[in-house]
Structure 1
């Protein structure tokens, strides 16, 4: 007969239970959240189309004018900050799930990306960055003179 010790905090797939209890007893934040409060990672979709690459970033609550998009040596960076909600005097947050603070995402683009044609727009909390592809030179046959 084999006896194993059951530890609910380290059962595969159950790490979220400990994190939830940490948040409950630490005023809505786990120790890791309190330490890393200044950073969060927005969710993105990246797709490749025939003529371009498209990056869609979920950034609700962030003013598009404050988002910085840069391209340097085939690395596209997306930086910004979402401010924390301010509570009225005497108010207490009973649940805080939305991340806030600074964010910084970087994407390495292939050599076929045209850095000069990058465009970004924001609508309904989603920032869309389009990166056109460079025109590909078609192979051509070269005749040998003889």
Structure 2
């Protein structure tokens, strides 16, 4: 059973998105939808199948739960959200920044037996847990 959707244009879309950001062009949500949504970063996700449900765990430290959107349409579970950049003071003297900020977007194609009406989601300690019966 495959739980991820292969999207062959992901790398091209990512390059386009990165070039837009490099040159200061902001894309709208409509632009993202028309060319395939692109993430600024991707959370690590585990998906497991139990005898009565599909359970997804996504690492989202620093993401406010109100900034997370979980939807399921036509058998495709979509996670979308945003991690806000912390305000920095110029005198902080950062030498290295490794944490990613901005929009994230993940899609997972689930089998037909996944019930789009039976979804629950919660966050605990920076981990989003989505359960689909």
Can you give the 5+ residue segments of structure 1 that lack an aligned partner in the other structure? Answer: 1-30, 133-146
1:53 aligned residue: 54
1:116 aligned residue: 117
Deviations 1:11-47 (A, max 9, x none): xxxxxxxxxxxxxxxxxxxx99x75xx6100000000
C-alpha deviation, 1:54, in angstroms: 0.3
Structure 1 CA distance for aligned equivalents of residues 112 and 74 of structure 2:
10
Specify the SS of the correspondent of 1:99.
Answer: coil
Give the greater-gyration-radius structure (CA): 1
1:101 aligned residue: 102
C-alpha deviation, 1:84, in angstroms: 1.5
Structure 1 ranges of 4+ moved more than 4 A:
none
TM-score (normalised: structure 2): 0.69
TM-score (normalised: structure 1): 0.63
Structure 1 CA distance for aligned equivalents of residues 96 and 46 of structure 2:
28
Q: Is contact 2:48–2:55 with CA below 8 Å preserved after alignment?
A: yes
Higher helix share: 2
Can you give the 5+ residue segments of structure 2 that lack an aligned partner in the other structure? Answer: 1-17, 23-38
1:139 aligned residue: none
Aligned residues: 99
C-alpha deviation, 1:112, in angstroms: 0.6
Structure 2 CA distance for aligned equivalents of residues 81 and 45 of structure 1:
19
Q: Is contact 2:78–2:107 with CA below 8 Å preserved after alignment?
A: yes
1:84 aligned residue: 85
